[in-house]
């Protein structure tokens, strides 16, 4: 079976552009990336189904090289399209909700993550102390209480 080089190139292009868009911070933009990728992958299925131009149905024929076209990849693509459609609806609703709540559809950083990272940077030394002696809760204190963290994410949850 010879492969259709145009389809292969288009498939690669769609997936590539999709990955590029996926790295964006905006939800809608990133999701457009997912949509492009999924279309690229659908083309990959079409590539897998063999050459174009074969008849859709022949009584008693096989799905080999010269017989009728292979129906299975088309069924798979159809399923994938339906699933993507459902996901599109959900993600757009999510993006709307995010825009409503935060006035932007950009993905924001995780506050708890940032807090833990900050705490680690500020007090790396006593962190090591605790690691060295897990049984003791009576470590001598040499950090500054509450100066760095204050009301963190835990309070707002």
Q: Is 132 in the site for other proteins (CB under 8 A)?
A: no
* CA-closest candidate to residue 27, choices 114, 81, 102, 80: 102
| Residue 76 CB, nearest approach to other proteins (Å) | 6
Residues 76-115: b if buried by 16+ CB within 10 A, e if exposed? ebeeeeeebeeeeeebeeebeebeeeeeebeeeeeeeeeb
Query: Shortest Cβ distance from residue 13 to other proteins (Å)?
Result: 15
Q: Taking CB under 8 A as the criterion, which residues in 89-118 touch other proteins?
A: 90-91, 94-95, 97-98, 101-102, 107-108, 110, 112-113, 115-116
Q: What is the dihedral of CA 16, 19, 20, 24, to 10 degrees?
A: 160
Please report, as ranges, the residues that interact with other proteins according to CB under 8 A: 22, 27, 30-31, 34, 37-38, 41, 44-45, 47-48, 70, 72-73, 76, 79-80, 83, 86-87, 90-91, 94-95, 97-98, 101-102, 107-108, 110, 112-113, 115-116, 119-120, 122-123, 126-127, 129-131, 134, 137-155, 157
């Amino acid at each position: 079976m010879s492969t259709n080089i145009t389809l292969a190139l288009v498939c690669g292009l769609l997936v590539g552009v999709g990955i590029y868009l996926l790295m964006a911070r905006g939800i809608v933009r990133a999701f457009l990336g997912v949509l492009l990728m999924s279309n690229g992958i659908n083309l990959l299925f079409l590539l897998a189904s063999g050459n174009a131009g074969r008849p859709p149905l022949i009584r008693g024929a096989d799905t080999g090289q010269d017989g009728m076209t292979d129906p299975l990849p088309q069924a798979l693509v159809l399923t994938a399209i339906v699933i993507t459609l459902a996901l599109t609806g959900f993600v757009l609703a999510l993006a709307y909700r995010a825009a409503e709540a935060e006035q932007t559809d950009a993905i924001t950083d995780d506050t708890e993550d940032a807090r833990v990272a900050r705490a680690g940077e500020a007090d790396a030394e006593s962190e090591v102390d605790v690691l060295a002696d897990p049984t003791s809760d009576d470590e001598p204190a040499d950090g500054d209480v509450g100066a760095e963290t204050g009301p963190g994410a835990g309070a707002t949850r």
